[in-house]
């Protein structure tokens, strides 16, 4: 039987370089108090032996864990998984976060937390005790939950707040929601639409208000009415269908609708079809998120592409920078969204 090749450890590197384990650890962790000549010597041994630093080795210095903890909403995520709908938000967050962590020598751990649960402090406290993360990424609606932000502040753990203006004292990042909604509305106005409806997301998400403000601002700037033209959903297909039915059954129905996510936009197109309306001939539709659902819908959806991966990657950079003691960025970091044009939008009907 062939002998299993022994894994290279930090002890092998230390022996090969003729230095202590602590010196190897300081080089791995890129600590500043190591002479350049010593860094080159240890790095040469690492390269020669093919050593891959482990989390345990990196933790030897005791100053950090090299782990970033990312939190997402449990209830909505599990509901999507059980419905076999997946969650493109999570896919994109993992894409941006894991690649950036790997680039910077970190690992990202993903956890689900119920933001409405009275036990959120206990759950998060247990995760912090077990993982001792160097930073935490909060996603809506966790981003501005004081139970969470106060706990992280008390533990002196840097945290990024995606979709937040940073009232909780963390590092805020915004995906340009208000400007994206304005841009999407202006695209419809440019196609000749003046009666444009809007389906908002739930009010416990700050970004829902920003998107509503972007639509309303663009409409008012163009001299178009907004009263009675907006409905609130909860990002689910059913809520989008209910909102669309209200808007499309009005005597002065919209010729275009901007929906706050792909599920509600697809529901809008289904309701339109049930009412004998053709998209985009009779009704133009734009969605937010740009998940695979938008691509495979028929007709394919014009959509605001949320830069989730880029935002998460930037959050990782800012958290590591904060852990290093660098001067924090003032104000929210804005990662702009793009508008992807597809088949669901067209000229306003005559």
Statement: residue 27 has pLDDT above 50: yes
Q: What is the bridge-based pairing of β-strands 135-138 and 67-73?
A: parallel
Residue range 185-203: average pLDDT?
A: 97
| Mean pLDDT for the stretch of residues 17-24 | 86
Instruction: Name the pLDDT band for 126 (thresholds 50, 70, 90).
Output: confident
pLDDT at position 2: 43
Taking the C-alpha atoms of residue 234 and residue 251, their distance in angstroms, rounded to an integer, is 25
Per-residue buried b or exposed e for 28-42, using 16+ beta carbons within 10 Å of the residue's own CB: bbeeeebeeeeeebb
Q: What crossing angle do the helices spanning 308-323 and 88-103 adopt, rounded to 10°?
A: 40
**Selected residue with higher pLDDT from 324 and 171:** 171
- The predicted-structure confidence for 205-247, as pLDDT tens digits, reads as follows 899 999 999 999 999 999 999 999 999 999 999 999 999 999 9
Question: How far is 264 from 345, CA to CA, in rounded Å?
Answer: 16
**Nearest CA among 280, 300, 252, 272 for reference residue 347:** 280
């Amino acid at each position: 039987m062939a002998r299993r090749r022994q894994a290279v450890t930090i002890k092998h590197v230390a022996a090969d370089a003729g230095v202590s384990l602590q010196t190897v650890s300081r080089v791995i962790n890129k600590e500043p108090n190591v002479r350049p000549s010593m860094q080159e010597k240890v790095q040469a041994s690492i390269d020669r032996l093919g050593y891959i630093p482990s989390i345990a080795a990196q933790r030897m210095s005791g100053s950090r864990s090299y782990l970033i903890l990312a939190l997402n909403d449990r209830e909505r995520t599990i509901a999507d998984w059980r419905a076999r709908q997946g969650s493109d938000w999570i896919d994109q967050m993992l894409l941006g976060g894991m690649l950036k962590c790997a680039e910077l020598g970190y690992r990202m751990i993903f956890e689900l937390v119920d933001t409405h649960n009275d036990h959120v402090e206990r759950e998060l406290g247990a995760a912090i005790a077990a993982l001792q993360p160097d930073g935490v990424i909060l996603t809506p609606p966790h981003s501005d939950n004081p139970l969470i932000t106060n706990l992280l502040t008390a533990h002196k753990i840097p945290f990024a707040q995606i979709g937040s203006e940073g009232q909780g004292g963390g590092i805020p990042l915004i995906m340009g929601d208000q400007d994206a909604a304005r841009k999407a509305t202006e695209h419809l106005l440019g196609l000749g639409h003046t009666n444009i409806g809007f389906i908002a997301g739930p009010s416990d998400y700050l970004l829902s208000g920003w998107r509503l403000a972007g639509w309303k601002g663009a409409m008012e700037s163009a001299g178009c009415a907004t009263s009675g033209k907006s409905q609130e959903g909860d990002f689910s297909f059913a809520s989008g269908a209910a909102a669309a039915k209200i808007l499309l059954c009005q005597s002065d129905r919209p010729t275009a609708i901007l929906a706050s996510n792909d599920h509600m936009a697809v529901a809008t197109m289904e309701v339109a079809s049930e009412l004998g309306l053709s998209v985009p001939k009779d009704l133009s539709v734009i969605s937010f998120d740009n998940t695979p659902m938008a691509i495979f819908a028929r007709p394919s959806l014009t959509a605001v592409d949320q830069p989730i991966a880029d935002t998460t990657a930037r959050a990782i950079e800012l958290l590591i920078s904060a852990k290093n003691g660098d001067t924090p960025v003032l104000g929210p970091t804005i990662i702009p969204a793009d508008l992807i044009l597809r088949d669901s939008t067209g000229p306003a009907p005559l």
